[in-house]
Amino acid sequence: MLVVKIDNHEQARPQFGVNSADVVFEEIVEGGLTRFAALYHSKEAGLVGPIRSVRTSDFDLLENLNRPLFANSGGNEAVLQLLQEVDFTDVSSNAAMDVYQRLADRPSPHNLVSDTGSLRTIGTARGDGGAPPTLFVRRNFEGDAEKSGTCLLYTSEAADEGLGVHIGGRRIIKKKKERGGGGGGGGGG
């Protein structure tokens, strides 16, 4: 799994390679600004970015991805010190500047880019990352075959119709009639 920290400032738009990501998280950084953490697993992007700095808000995501490759443009000294406690493979511009470039037609710092193939090559040279965890399981309702890589969309309309949601065989959102109040024992989680 490759995680790339991507700028979402208005001067960074349009971003590159976001559509090739398997999952994109939007994180609030400061002053109402956001950045993306784009996860690449099944596709490559010939150009990805603009790549920006690591924040402490990235730590929980990284820790849940089983030692991912992490591409970023560095960070302040305190954050980089804390980042050393997180298990990941460093493919940042600090670790491998030769696979990064700056675009002349954009102002800095909104112009640092790379490509997923080069970032993965650096990751392999640094010991690779771990295999990504299965985030979702898709069931083929015509058979029992399971496949990973499903996008789950849950709406309030589905709740109103009494539909339950299951992940990994465990019901996480109960059907409407199971949520009702009153008496029935039994714990739940």
Residue type, 110: H
Question: What is the length of the chain?
Answer: 189
Residues 89, 58, 6, 21, CA torsion sign: positive
| Phi, psi dihedral angles at 125 (to 5 degrees) | -65, -25
Q: Is the pLDDT of residue 81 over 60?
A: yes
- The Cα 37–Cα 68 span in angstroms is 12
**What pLDDT band is residue 66 in, cutting at 50, 70 and 90?**
confident
Kindly report, residue by residue over 97-117, the tens digit of the pLDDT.
999 999 999 999 999 999 999
Give the pairing of strands 69-71 and 2-7.
parallel
- The Cα 122–Cα 135 span in angstroms is 25
Q: What tokens were used for 166?
A: 């299951």
- Computed on alpha carbons and rounded to an integer, the radius of gyration of the chain in Å comes to 20
Mean pLDDT over residues 42-70, rounded?
92
Question: Exposure of 77 by Cβ count < 10 A (0-12 exposed, 13-18 middle, 19+ buried)?
Answer: exposed
Kindly report, residue by residue over 115-146, the tens digit of the pLDDT.
999 999 999 888 776 666 566 666 665 554 44
- The Cα 143–Cα 23 span in angstroms is 27
Give percent above pLDDT 90 in the chain: 55
Q: 3 near 68, Cβ under 8 Å? A: yes
- The Cα 102–Cα 112 span in angstroms is 5
User: What pLDDT shows up at residue 169?
Assistant: 52
